[in-house]
């Protein structure tokens, strides 16, 4: 590979990292303090029951994460059987933790 090509790849990788850092709130390490909770709201895009993961498009959550599609672990895998693409959910998430959705609840469909 040419140096130019390597430099181009490297700058793409750095760009992606910087973007990710910007879009995910950087919580200062709060030693001893309880982590701040955020209310998570989103729409399921994919469920991986085997891997115990769910891909969700979340609404913007100020101080936690901008609106995006991401794959998460779940705290209780039993909920996965209630989820399918298009399911609206709420969950609890914590400051600085962008990996796991806690206490997922299916949003009841709006009454007609
Ligand atoms: Cu994200």
- pLDDT for position 53: 96
Domain borders along the chain are: 37-107
- pLDDT for position 111: 75
- pLDDT for position 27: 66
- Ligand 1 center to 18 CA (angstroms): 13
Chain centroid to Cα 30, Å, comes to 21
* Vertex 87 angle, CA 102 and 68, to 5°: 65
- Ligand 1 center to 101 CA (angstroms): 12
CA distance 10 to 81: 40
Chain centroid to Cα 95, Å, comes to 12
- Ligand 1 center to 73 CA (angstroms): 13
- Ligand 1 center to 68 CA (angstroms): 6
Compute φ and ψ for 92, nearest 5 degrees.
-110, 135
CA distances from 3 to 6, 9, 15, 16, 17 (A): 5, 10, 18, 20, 21
- Ligand 1 center to 45 CA (angstroms): 14
- Ligand 1 center to 71 CA (angstroms): 8
Each residue's pLDDT tens digit, 4-34: 999 999 999 999 888 888 898 876 666 677 7
Each residue's pLDDT tens digit, 91-102: 999 999 999 999
Each residue's pLDDT tens digit, 26-85: 766 666 777 899 999 999 999 999 999 999 999 999 999 999 999 999 999 999 999 999
CATH T-level fold of 37-107: OB fold (Dihydrolipoamide Acetyltransferase, E2P) (2.40.50)
- What predicted TM-score, i.e. pTM, was given to this entire model? 0.81
């Amino acid at each position: 590979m040419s140096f130019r090509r390597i430099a181009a790849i490297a700058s793409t990788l750095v760009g992606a990292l910087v973007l990710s850092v910007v879009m995910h709130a950087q919580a200062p390490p709060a030693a001893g303090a309880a982590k701040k909770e955020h209310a998570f709201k989103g729409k399921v895009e994919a469920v991986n029951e085997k891997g115990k993961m769910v891909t969700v498009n979340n609404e913007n959550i100020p101080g936690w994460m901008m609106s995006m599609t991401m794959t998460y672990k779940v705290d209780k895998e039993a909920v996965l059987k209630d989820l399918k693409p298009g399911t609206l959910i709420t969950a609890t998430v914590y400051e600085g933790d962008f990996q796991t959705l806690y206490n997922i609840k299916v949003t009841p469909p709006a009454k007609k």
